[in-house]
Amino acid sequence: MSKENNETIIELKAVTKRYGFGDAESYALHNFDLTVKRGEFIMIMGPSGCGKTTLLNIIGLLDKPTSGEYLLNGKNVEKIPSRRKAHFRAKEIGFIFQNFNLIPNLSVIENVSLPLIYSGHHKTRRLRKADDILEHFHLREREYYMPYQLSGGQQQRVAIARSLISDPSIILADEPTGNLDSRSSHIIMEELRDIHAQGNTIIMVTHNPALTTYATRVINMLDGEIDTDIKTVADSDLPRPGDPEKISVRILSKKRPVELEVDSQTKVVVSGEHVTIGKGVSKKQIADIKKSSNDDKKADKSKKKEQKTRKIVKKTDKKSKDEKKES
Ligand SMILES: Nc1ncnc2c1ncn2[C@@H]1O[C@H](COP(=O)(O)OP(=O)(O)O)[C@@H](O)[C@H]1O
Ligand SMILES: [Mg+2]
């Protein structure tokens, strides 16, 4: 399988969003250029008022630029008729907001099934789909709760379930952990990490620099422009739909060789005798570790290991002989 992952899904060219005229004129975005590849997990940071929400709203087709061009999957958004645009938004873009934005007088399951209105499915089918996704989020027993009966963290997980129900290719999250305690934030970030590992594209605004370890790219904005734009993972290492979720890593140390199966997004750092398993490193780095541990293996000519291997081979031989006898 080719590891090339250069499919551009979002392209903003000199996008400007202006408010007011004359003396009252101000820019929420100013000549903003941005290219997003499929599978990126972008975190947007920057001071309050620098245009982060405006940017997400334009990308999510909730707002229009004053000038400039927006290409979504290579198509100029301005040329898409508004009804098709609404349909596209419901189908392809999942939104997660700081205030969860659940509809207060609808139950959890009704909230989650809402984006499927555009799918043309009958209500029973929509609710069944919502039921499935709520089960995945371990929220099935709260399906018929009203939003006010849930904690903030639970409300946000319902909102994430809702954002995923139509299987969108782009997830836009505006400070999704801004109203949550650190434990709930962590749970939400783990959910987003899983969604990303499945090959989805995520653009998330945050004030919390600690969360940027989850990202493959971090953009700092200032006064409606990009201040810094740093990729932490190469495009060729971005996850793609259908990639294995688990990777087995073999770490050979003289004292204690370990073989573990980790999430494809798990960070494995080997430094001297210490092995740290954490979050947020690319598959390439894991592959490098695997490779170097294999190289170690080749170099390591310890007899013990050879004997051990022989034993295993013997066992297998014996087993297959036994099998032959039986048949
Ligand atoms: N509807 C609006 N009318 C006038 N100014 C607005 C409007 N929406 C946003 N702005 C201005 O645009 C700038 C960027 O806002 P926003 O995108 O919400 O920033 P951020 O999300 O980074 O805090 C701010 O100066 C804000 O006051
Ligand atoms: Mg904002």
**Model confidence pLDDT, tens digit, residues 62-90:** 999 999 999 999 999 999 898 888 888 88
What pLDDT tens digit does each residue of the chain (327 aa) get? 344 557 999 999 999 999 998 888 999 999 999 999 999 999 999 999 999 999 999 999 999 999 999 999 999 999 989 888 888 888 899 999 999 999 999 999 999 999 898 778 899 999 999 999 999 888 999 999 999 999 999 999 999 999 999 889 899 999 999 999 999 999 899 989 989 988 899 999 999 999 999 999 999 999 999 999 999 888 888 887 776 666 666 666 555 566 666 665 565 655 555 566 655 555 666 666 666 666 655 655 554 555 444 444 433 344 444 555 554
Residue 231: C-alpha distances to residues 42, 53, 71, 161, 235 (Å): 9, 21, 21, 28, 9
Q: ∠ CA(228), CA(11), CA(159), 5° rounding?
A: 85
CB count, 10 Å around CB of 68? 18
Proximal ligand: closest to the CA of 221:
1
Measured CA to CA, the distance from residue 199 to residue 221 in angstroms comes to 25
Global pTM value = 0.78
Give the dihedral of Cα atoms 209, 211, 214, 215; nearest 10 deg. -40
Measured CA to CA, the distance from residue 297 to residue 278 in angstroms comes to 24
Q: Which residue has a Cα nearest atom 3 of ligand 1?
A: 19
Give which of 168, 42, 153, 166 is closest to 100, Cα–Cα. Answer: 153
Q: Which residue has a Cα nearest atom 13 of ligand 1?
A: 28
Q: Which residue has a Cα nearest atom 7 of ligand 1?
A: 19
| 29-44 pLDDT, tens digit each | 999 999 999 999 999 9
Q: Ligand 1, from 53, 58, 222: best to mutate by most atoms within 8 Å of Cβ? A: 53
Q: Is 60 helix (H, G, I), strand (E, B) or coil?
A: coil
